[in-house]
């Protein structure tokens, strides 16, 4: 069955000191695993800036509304240890953008080789 309800794409931009990259990724892994196990999560990819190794972008797609995401998903317990460890590493304020995804499949392309 194809999901036809609202869906969002969360874009998170984080900048840390490049000397903390290994520790940051180590702290991220359990939270990442928790997120991708959620049935509403349809996509999660971590990007980094090769010109600035301490700069990361997360892109997460969710089946749900922004309100659901903020009131239900963001309260999951696996975020707490990740934030406790990583927030002190931030050298710039973390930024968030939440975008509404286009309905249907007309504007989606995911190749198996991705």
> What tens digit of pLDDT does each residue of 63-80 get?
999 999 999 999 999 999
CA distance 88 to 97: 21
What integer is the mean pLDDT of 97-111?
89
Q: Taking the domains of the chain in order of start, what are their residue ranges? A: 7-100
When pLDDT is cut at 50, 70 and 90, the band that residue 108 belongs to is confident
Mean pLDDT of all residues belonging to the chain: 95
Per CATH, the architecture of 7-100 is what? 2-Layer Sandwich (3.30)
SS3 25: helix
Dihedral sign, Cα of residue 39, residue 25, residue 90, residue 88:
positive
How much is the pTM?
A: 0.90
């Amino acid at each position: 069955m194809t999901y036809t309800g609202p869906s969002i794409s969360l874009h998170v931009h984080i900048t840390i000191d490049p000397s903390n990259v290994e520790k940051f990724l180590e702290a991220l892994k359990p939270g990442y695993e928790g997120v991708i196990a959620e049935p509403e999560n349809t996509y999660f990819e971590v990007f980094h800036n090769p010109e600035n190794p301490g700069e990361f972008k997360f892109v997460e797609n969710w089946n749900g509304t922004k309100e659901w995401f903020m009131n239900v998903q963001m309260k999951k317990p696996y975020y707490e240890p990740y934030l406790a460890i990583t927030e002190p590493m931030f050298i710039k304020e973390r930024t968030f953008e939440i975008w509404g995804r286009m309905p249907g499949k007309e504007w989606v392309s995911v190749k198996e080789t991705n």
